[in-house]
Structure 1
Amino acid sequence: MKPLLSDRGDRARIPQQFLDRPATREVIRHLPGESFRWLEHDYPSEIARWNYHPEFEVHLIRSGTGSYIIGDQVGPFGPGHVALIGSGLPHDWMSDLAPDEVIHNRDAVVQFDGDWIDRSAESMPELNEVREILNASGRGIVFSGETALKAAEEIEEVGRHHGLRRLSHVLALLSLLAHAPDDERQFIAREWFASPSGDEGTAAVDAGLAYIFENLSTRIRMSEAARLALMSEPTFSKYFKKASGLTFSDMVRKLRIANACRLLEQTDRTISTICTSVGYTNLANFNRQFLAEIGVTPSAFRKLQPDEKPRGRAPSLGLSGTV
């Protein structure tokens, strides 16, 4: 695969209106009579942006090269890239584009609700085979080798059929991913979400994430997130930590640093401008938080080639200072 963004001028090719918006909660609507959704879309488009949703997603890149952001990690992609995105995990695929270029039908996507799997498994216990891979997908998983090739074929078959034949290909896809050999699956982000913990935990995480994403460039208060979740601060804090695996302030920091990685990767903005764009008011604090979370400084991160980007560093929790 060719090096991505080897020409600094390429960074200016991503449409600015898509880069300036923070991640949003994507509302996924299923058609009547379908238990999952299959779709394809161009790039750039309104639907192709940094987003998150409670549904699981299997994502295929058909053409083009660029950079993905999954959780708190940035990496390269090319044609045939297949990823499994867990519930609530922020993600985006940003293609390298020439001026005014549009990649038609760049993406093919299968999305489904975890509750659908749970309900179906009550009458079809064979579906329990996919629980392990779905639980692990909170970090995001990129597949390679024969698994990626066969998964791409199944995703395309889902789009070609309807009814039971379409469902059969979704089940074949899930089975394929669940039984992928270890050397054909790569975990991308650091630990992001623990398993959901009841309605209260889900409500806390949903309200907290929506509030964080809507205010990522400004001051964020846990008291406001708790108010939106209709909880006291101690109750909100307890449920948010239990359901997400992170404290509220840790989540704010991870999302701000993830957004900073995205802007460092895809724009030529100065580091001080990016610092402000992601909600930091102090450049020294931004540099310190970025180094603790990613393992390199923002300036060093920008100079790295995509395959040199640091991965798997243990998250640095409980740091002093503001987020």
Structure 2
Amino acid sequence: MTRWIDRPAAREVIPLLPGESFRWLEHDYPSEIARWNYHPEYEIHLIRKGTGSYIIGDQIGAFGPGQVAMIGSELPHDWMSDLEPDEVIIGRDAVVQFDAEWLERCIGVLPEVSAVRELLELSQMGIIFGGQTALDAAEQIELVGRTSGSRRLSHLFALLAVLTHAPKEEKMLVTRAWFSASEGREGKAAVEAGLAYIFANLNDRIRMSEAAHLAHMSEPTFSKYFKRASGLTFSDTVKKLRIANACRLLATSELPVSTICTEVGYSNLANFNRQFLAEVGMTPREYRNLDDAERPSGMSPRLGLGTANRLVEHAHP
């Protein structure tokens, strides 16, 4: 499994089969497609079996069977199961993926579906659902996989309705908003080019000038649109993703801290330790020594579940 764990995130290409307007799939773990990735499509993800750690955006948390999460467009994510040597978890996940533009066209002719827009906005922070909402959503996800044609479509809309109307106590926002679609074409271009460049060079030297060049923008223009669309400066995004990748490697590998330092793009161990402490609230060694249940679940140590619930309350007054 190491050959998948220590790879950086990749932009995933999600092909649709003929006659499909969205995608449903299931996969085992480990698997080459079960890795740190991001894509423009929205994703609803069900864990059927196993326990482990997830990474959503720049946050690490724990998962178990029955967890349902919704991942926004371009939001990096991965679920890393705890495995015995040579263990394979068959059918670990069931996943629904759909394109926002397709859903907007649906809303254009089916205004009853318009309430889902608010769900899409919240999913840019990643949402983990619990309680009856997770149970009902899991049932609809499985029904999507077992049906076809109009029945399949009806179960997708039923799934979206379940998540849209989830009570606030049954949903937790995971991270900051990764990308605001309202910032338009320039913001989208800056974020897409920036993330692609960052992930391709996460263990190497990263220059904003190169990302700006990929976005066909000047540095000041790129910097402005990237910050407006992502909510962070380019350098802060690089730091958060490097530390998140370090958390992932600390939790899922036995690589020495000094090796992880280099793997995530730091050339100086003291600086890496200092940046990790500032971001996570503990040293890399302290983080590695935590049990899975002790690691921050859903939010960073500095932004707990109470804050997540207040964010949901703010979004749904």
Is the TM-score greater than 0.5? Answer: yes
Q: Distance in 2 between matches of 1:20 and 1:309?
A: 20
What are the equivalent positions in structure 2 for 1:207-246 lying under 5 Å apart? 207-246=193-232
Aligned-pair identity (%): 68
- Return the match for 2:16 from 30, 34, 48: 30
Q: Which residue of 1 aligns with 2:308?
A: none
TM-score by length of 2: 0.91
What are the equivalent positions in structure 2 for 1:92-107 lying under 5 Å apart? 92-107=78-93
What are the equivalent positions in structure 2 for 1:119-198 lying under 5 Å apart? 119-198=105-184
Matched, 1:68 2:83: no
1:25 CA displacement: 0.2
1:308 CA displacement: 2.7
- Return the match for 1:58 from 44, 48, 73: 44
Q: Which residue of 2 aligns with 1:110?
A: 96
- Secondary structure of the residue aligned to 2:180 is coil
- Greater shift in the superposed pair: 233-242 or 175-184: 233-242
1:274 CA displacement: 0.8
Which residue type is aligned with residue 249 of structure 2? L
Checking the alignment, whether the CA contact within 8 Å between 1:74 and 1:306 is kept in structure 2 is: no
What do residues 47-70 of structure 1 show as CA deviations (whole Å, max 9, x unaligned)?
100001111100011111211111
Task: Give the alignment's Cα RMSD to 1 decimal.
Answer: 1.3
What do residues 4-56 of structure 1 show as CA deviations (whole Å, max 9, x unaligned)?
xxxxxxxxxxx110111000000111122221100111111111000011111
Distance 1:195 1:293, change over 3 A: farther
Checking the alignment, whether the CA contact within 8 Å between 1:196 and 1:244 is kept in structure 2 is: no
Distance 1:150 1:242, change over 3 A: same
Q: Distance in 2 between matches of 1:231 and 1:258?
A: 28
Q: Which residue of 2 aligns with 1:9?
A: none
Distance 1:21 1:291, change over 3 A: same
Which residue type is aligned with residue 257 of structure 1? I
Which 4+ stretches in 1 moved above 3 angstroms? none
- Secondary structure of the residue aligned to 2:140 is helix
Checking the alignment, whether the CA contact within 8 Å between 2:62 and 2:295 is kept in structure 1 is: no
Q: Distance in 2 between matches of 1:193 and 1:305?
A: 32
Unpaired runs of 5+ residues, structure 1, are 1-14, 315-323
What do residues 273-322 of structure 1 show as CA deviations (whole Å, max 9, x unaligned)?
111110011112112211222222212222223333233436xxxxxxxx
Q: Which residue of 2 aligns with 1:18?
A: 4
- Return the match for 1:302 from 274, 280, 288: 288
- Secondary structure of the residue aligned to 1:21 is coil
Which residue type is aligned with residue 44 of structure 1? P
1:121 CA displacement: 1.2
Aligned length: 300
- Return the match for 2:269 from 277, 280, 283: 283
Which residue type is aligned with residue 210 of structure 1? A
What do residues 166-197 of structure 1 show as CA deviations (whole Å, max 9, x unaligned)?
00000000000011111111112234333341
Checking the alignment, whether the CA contact within 8 Å between 1:68 and 1:74 is kept in structure 2 is: yes
Q: Distance in 2 between matches of 1:193 and 1:199?
A: 12
Matched, 1:79 2:95: no
Q: Distance in 2 between matches of 1:162 and 1:80?
A: 23
Q: Which residue of 2 aligns with 1:11?
A: none
Unpaired runs of 5+ residues, structure 2, are 304-317
Which residue type is aligned with residue 149 of structure 2? G
TM-score by length of 1: 0.89
